[in-house]
Structure 1
Amino acid sequence: MRPSAIAMGKHFGNLGKMYGEHRFALSPNEQKAFKGFFDQAFVRTFKTYVWDQWYYYIPQTIGAYLFRLCQRQVNNFLHHINLNYEFSSFFIWSE
């Protein structure tokens, strides 16, 4: 068996030394917790999905508008017929 640090019984903390690696960071208490939250959560999402790809939303918008327009016309037509039928016998002056 090849002699290694683990085979020689060293603990994991003493296995190897790294030289030349330095890391500098702020402590968690000194960092801003919500830095850039609004920008990343709302502005970038809007730019990615709506602003950059606006041409995907045109057919859905037109379809929704036409659907609501037809729905309103049918609803008005049906209620107009029902109101004339229901209230015609209650009024003397009805046609």
Structure 2
Amino acid sequence: MRPTAVALGKHFGNLGKMYGEHRFALAPNEQKAYKGFLDQAFVKTFKTYVWDQWYYYIPQTIGAYLLYDWAKKTNHEANRKNPADYANDQ
């Protein structure tokens, strides 16, 4: 078994050196947590669910609207009074 750096008695911060890697960080109070949230969230949602997958819901929506419109018109015609029944009334 190969001895690790921890087993050799080094502290956790001194386990190894990395060259060529730079890390930058901002304090939590300096970060803008919601920067670009509204516009980016809207654009990503639109692109994912509307632009890329329109064929899943547009045909069903059009079909459901046409069925609804036909049912409304048929119901209106079926429930109205027949004007010929009242032609001789005064």
| TM-score after normalising by structure 2 | 0.61
Q: Distance in 2 between matches of 1:7 and 1:33?
A: 41
Equivalent residue letter for 2:71:
Q
> Which residues of structure 1 form unaligned runs of 5+?
85-92
- C-alpha displacement at 1:35, in angstroms? 0.9
User: Which residue does the alignment assign to 2:76?
Assistant: 76
Gaps of 5+ in 2: 83-87
Q: 1:12 deviation in Å? A: 2.8
2:7 corresponding residue in structure 1: 7
Comparing both chains, which one has the higher relative contact order based on Cα–Cα distances under 8 Å and sequence gaps of 6 or more? Answer: 2
Where has structure 1 moved over 6 Å in runs of 4 or more?
none
Q: State how many pairs are aligned.
A: 85
- Normalising by the residue count of structure 1, what TM-score does the alignment of the two structures yield? 0.59
Alignment of 1:15-34 (within 5 A): 15-34=15-34
Q: Distance in 2 between matches of 1:20 and 1:38?
A: 36
Q: Which residue matches 1:89?
A: none
Counterpart in the other structure of 1:42: 42
Q: Report the identity percentage.
A: 71
**C-alpha separation in 2, matches of 1:6 and 1:25:** 27
Structure 1 residue 36: Cα displacement:
1.0
